[in-house]
């Protein structure tokens, strides 16, 4: 695949981003203590109404986007233990929490290209993104990012200044490319990836393989959605640099591309041969959730293998619960979800 063609497709998929997140009160902790959200967080409101309120009141929007109920509760419990941002800080914003498993949350995640959760975003009343903070979402880091938005020292601004001072710093280019991509600014990411590949054509520093892996990931973003090009990029990476660490990491996005192209058996075969760690088994199980792949019995095998290796990871229990629902095992799903809540620091399971 020619690099310029990929850049053109990425640039064509570029969109401007605007984003805000908020929280809603959560459930109880495993120790019995009530875990309350910071005051006046609302949940899953239509984004248009949130933006209208922000314009009317002349203040920005703070959005918290989480995967589901247990991650919301876990995030709030962690903030409570660490000391959540103060009411005085939060009262400067319209605040709303979205769950990616809800209709409005899925819309917000897609619109603002939120690819990792929990993520906090700050946007203005016209939906222009001012800043964001992704996982791990510690209370102190969130507060620092909020303050950074107000004084102009956001992560985006910092990357721009660093790139201006060191335009040939390839590791910095790769970090910046990922940051732009995760914000949906694909046109800004594409030339940085091309520069990284050109600077290390034989992958002696690992830059070219990392850039190609990231480019394959970008081609799978919904704003681009070019599974054919992504498959060619990722397969080419594994053929050109078979020993690179990035080539092993390319297996999951390659399987996603195959799944989207209707080659589900090949996708599952790739993951069966690849998965060895708990993280890899967990990723394999999530294929059927993220790409609507069916094959619940196959996914259950990987979900249980992940838990056999790391039984105290709440995300793994939550994934098992989701796959069990797909397999019509409602009782098992409720048990697994309760375990996810308990391990995340929450006792209540919501409907």
- For the segment 25-56, what is each residue's pLDDT rounded down to a tens digit? 333 333 334 444 444 578 999 999 999 999 99
Q: Crossing angle, helix 186-199 and helix 3-12, to 10 degrees?
A: 160
Rounded Cα distance between 166 and 9, Å, is 27
Cα–Cα separations (whole angstroms), residue 235 to 211, 231, 240, 348: 14, 6, 9, 44
Helix (H) or strand (E) holding 174: helix 170-182
Instruction: State the CB neighbour count (10 A cutoff) for residue 74.
Output: 24
Query: Please, which residues bridge with residue 99 across strands?
Result: 66
Q: What is the mean pLDDT of the segment spanning 325-332? A: 96
What SS3 state is found at 349?
coil
Q: What is the pLDDT of residue 11?
A: 42
DSSP H helices, 261-350, are: 264-274, 278-290, 296-309, 314-326, 330-343
Does residue 58 register a pLDDT over 60? yes
Rounded Cα distance between 228 and 103, Å, is 28
| Residue 311: partners with Cβ closer than 8 Å, 6 or more residues away | none
Does residue 278 register a pLDDT over 80? yes
Q: Crossing angle, helix 278-290 and helix 251-260, to 10 degrees?
A: 20
Instruction: State the CB neighbour count (10 A cutoff) for residue 299.
Output: 26
Does the pTM surpass 0.85? The reply is no
Show the domains of the chain with their CATH numbers: 17-151 (3.40.30.10), 154-249 (1.25.40), 263-351 (1.25.40.10)
Query: Higher-confidence residue: 215 or 143?
Result: 215
Q: What is the pLDDT of residue 25?
A: 34
| Residue 100: partners with Cβ closer than 8 Å, 6 or more residues away | 65, 66, 67, 68, 106, 109, 114, 117
- Cβ distance 149 to 20 under 8 Å? no
Query: Higher-confidence residue: 286 or 7?
Result: 286
- Residue 89 token pair: 């800080």
What DSSP string describes 47-102? HHHHHHHHHHHT--EEEEEESSHHHHHHHHHHHHHH-PPPHHHHTTSEEEEEETTS
Positive or negative: CA dihedral 46, 48, 52, 55: positive
What DSSP string describes 87-156? HHHHTTSEEEEEETTSHHHHHHHHHTT--SSSEEEEE-TT--EEEEE-SS--HHHHHHHHHHHHHT--HH
Q: How confident is the model at residue 147 (pLDDT cuts 50, 70, 90)?
A: low
- pLDDT per residue as tens digits for the range 291-308: 876 799 999 999 999 999
What SS3 state is found at 28?
strand
Say which DSSP state 34 is in: B
């Amino acid at each position: 695949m020619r690099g310029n063609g990929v850049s053109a497709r990425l640039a064509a998929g570029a969109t401007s981003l605007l984003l805000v997140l908020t929280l809603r009160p959560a459930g109880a902790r495993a120790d019995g203590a009530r875990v309350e959200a910071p005051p006046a967080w609302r949940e899953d409101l239509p984004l248009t109404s949130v933006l209208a309120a922000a314009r009317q009141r002349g203040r920005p929007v703070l959005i918290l986007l989480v995967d589901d109920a247990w991650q919301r509760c876990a995030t709030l419990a962690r903030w409570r233990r660490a000391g959540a941002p103060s009411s005085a800080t939060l009262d400067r914003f319209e605040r709303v929490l979205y769950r990616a498993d809800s209709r409005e949350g899925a819309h917000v995640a897609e619109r603002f290209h939120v690819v990792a959760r929990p993520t906090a975003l700050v946007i203005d009343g016209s939906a222009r993104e001012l800043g964001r903070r992704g996982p791990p979402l510690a209370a102190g880091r969130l507060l620092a990012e909020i303050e950074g938005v107000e004084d102009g020292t956001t992560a985006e601004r910092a990357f721009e200044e660093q790139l201006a001072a060191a335009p040939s710093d390839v590791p910095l280019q790769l970090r910046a490319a990922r940051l732009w991509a995760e914000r949906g600014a694909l046109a800004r990411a594409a030339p940085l990836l091309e520069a990284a590949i050109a600077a290390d054509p034989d992958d002696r520093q690992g830059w070219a393989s990392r850039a190609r892996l990231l480019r394959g990931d970008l081609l799978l973003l919904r704003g681009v959605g070019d599974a054919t090009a992504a498959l060619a990029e990722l397969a080419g990476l594994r053929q050109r640099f078979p020993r690179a660490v990035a080539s092993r990491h390319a297996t999951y996005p390659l399987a996603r591309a195959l799944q989207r192209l209707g080659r589900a058996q090949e996708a599952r075969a790739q993951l069966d041969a690849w998965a060895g760690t708990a993280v890899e088994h967990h990723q394999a199980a999530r294929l059927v959730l993220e790409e609507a792949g069916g094959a619940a019995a196959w996914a259950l095998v990987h979900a249980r293998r992940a838990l056999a290796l790391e039984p105290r990871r709440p995300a793994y229990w939550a994934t098992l619960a989701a796959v069990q629902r797909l397999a019509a095992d409602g009782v098992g799903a409720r048990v697994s979800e309760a375990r996810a809540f308990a391990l995340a620091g929450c006792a209540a399971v919501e409907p």
